[in-house]
Chain A
Amino acid sequence: MHKRFTTLGRILHTGVLNFMRNISLAIAAMAVMVVTLTIILFSIITNATFENTIAQITNKINISVFLNDTTTDTQAKQLVADLKKQPSVHRVVYLNKEQALQSFIKDNKENPATVTAASQTGNPIPATIQVFPSNLNEIQHLKEYLTTPEREKLQTPRSPSYNGKRKEAIDNITHATNVLRQIGALMVAVFAVICALIIFNTIQMAIFNRRDEITIMRLLGAKTSYIRGPFVVESAIYGLLSAVLSVLIINSAFLASSNALQASSLGLLDINYASKYFGDHFWALLTLQIAIGIIIGTVSSVIATRRYLKFKTK
């Protein structure tokens, strides 16, 4: 066991030394890796921000079921109970006629004429059930559920109702988000491949520069893992430093946007939320970036060394 730790220590030490010796090649490899990891990090934050925007809008949308004045309290409560059982329903709020009027007055307090008209005509506002769907795609399904003959007869002619324009806006945002997600995934994939190829070449050049040393190590009986180890460590260092740099870049970008631009949103992107998300998940994101960087680095170097460090006894 002690022998293994000694060997591991030597592999790590040699890897760090080689990284410093090989610094000019390392900078080229790391530059590409920083770009790749920055794109990955940006995609993660953007995705979370879009999700949040959509969730916020979704929370505000609901279907209003206006009940006939002839509908009894028991029938209304039964309908509420039935709706609550639906998996597509997130939340149900029942307002009797009086509560519905109070809500109407509250919503229209800046329009006193309307409020006065409603109050003086002996409460024309029907009892209302507000149905909040679990997601936007369930609206049509809920509408169908509510328009069956036995349920429809409990409602006023203009029920059920929902704000169609808002739904359309959400559909547009969802579509734009999906497109951006796909572009992000494509960019991540392209840069990850470029990054892996550059690291692959860097390690191959490093192997070529140290071919005499490798031959001597082979002849002295070094195991392949002992020869390969420092190259893998070197690539893992690329990944580690690139991950830290990518996180610093994103951090600086948020600082710049909040200090200089004082912007709260950039198109669809809510910068304040993105910045908060980044701050709240800083350590998790840093760990994830480091893991991705180390994986890209080690996998490419293992492939590069595998080709050159095979025993070729003829």
Chain B
Amino acid sequence: MILLDRVTKTYNRKLGPSLDRVSLHVEPKEFVIVVGQSGAGKTTLLRLLTREERPTSGKIIIGGIDYDKLKDKDIPLLRRKIGVVFQDFKLLPNKNVFENVAFALEIVGVSNREIRHTVPKVLEIVNLKGKEKRMPRELSGGERQRVAIARAIVRQPRILIADEPTGNLDPKHAWDVIKVLEKINRYGTTVLLTTHNQDIVNKLKRRVVTIQGGKVVSDRANATYDGK
């Protein structure tokens, strides 16, 4: 589902690579946690996957799409196949919960009838039923992040990338978000989660890839994380 082969990303040659020959293979329906301290290269990795950045060298293939052969005009089509959740939610402040989720469908030309049918179902999955009319400013951090997740999964992507989705949340809301991600994974979506929250990693007991100084230093199943 996700294949990185010796991927290197260098922004400034004097500072050295932000990612250094990273290789990673994620199977369909897997739940993989990428851990590492701030500046380790987690966000760079995710930005490469969403094609916000190009690798300096190495190969990336996601869902059968070879990034070397991907033209700029086809980037939107790639992003439609990947759901992305951001640490800062990236919700549209002038749209309510329903409209924020519907927005992801509107931009790909889904009909209004289908939107009215699909969005409530997704809001139910993320436990936001009844809050459709709320504006983002009227929601807690956890609720906002669940709106962002709903928006990311409403197009039923095969891959969901979550970049530190619990970074701005208190423990209770953080766990609400993680439970939603687990639920989505159970439905068959491949989840790639980046975090540096020890507690979450240790309780989830999933495959953990540790990045340090831009390199993958460990890749273990049912692993724990000591925060280093």
Contacts and interface: CB of A to CB of B under 8 A. Distances in A.
B109 A4 contact: yes
B105 to A, nearest CB: 10
B52 A313 contact: yes
B54 A313 contact: yes
Contact of B108 (A215, A221, A311): A221
A220 B151 CA distance: 9
Given A216-B90, A221-B76, A313 B53 contact: yes
Given A313-B53, A314-B54, A215 B90 contact: yes
A222 interface: yes
B175 interface: no
Q: What DSSP secondary structure best describes chain A's contact surface?
A: helix
A6 B111 contact: yes
B107 A222 contact: yes
A3 interface: yes
B65 to A, nearest CB: 13
A221 to B, nearest CB: 4
Interface residues of A, number: 22
B80 A313 contact: no
A219 B108 CA distance: 13
A311 B75 contact: yes
A7 interface: yes
A162 interface: no
Given A7-B109, A219-B84, A220-B79, A311 B72 contact: yes
A226 B107 CA distance: 7
A213 interface: yes
Interface centre among B73, B78, B109, by most A CB within 10 Å? B109
B103 interface: yes
Interface of A: 2-4, 6-7, 10, 212-213, 215-224, 226, 311, 313-314
16 contacts: A6-B112, A10-B106, A10-B109, A212-B90, A218-B79, A219-B50, A220-B79, A220-B80, A220-B103, A221-B76, A221-B78, A221-B107, A221-B108, A223-B107, A313-B51, A314-B54
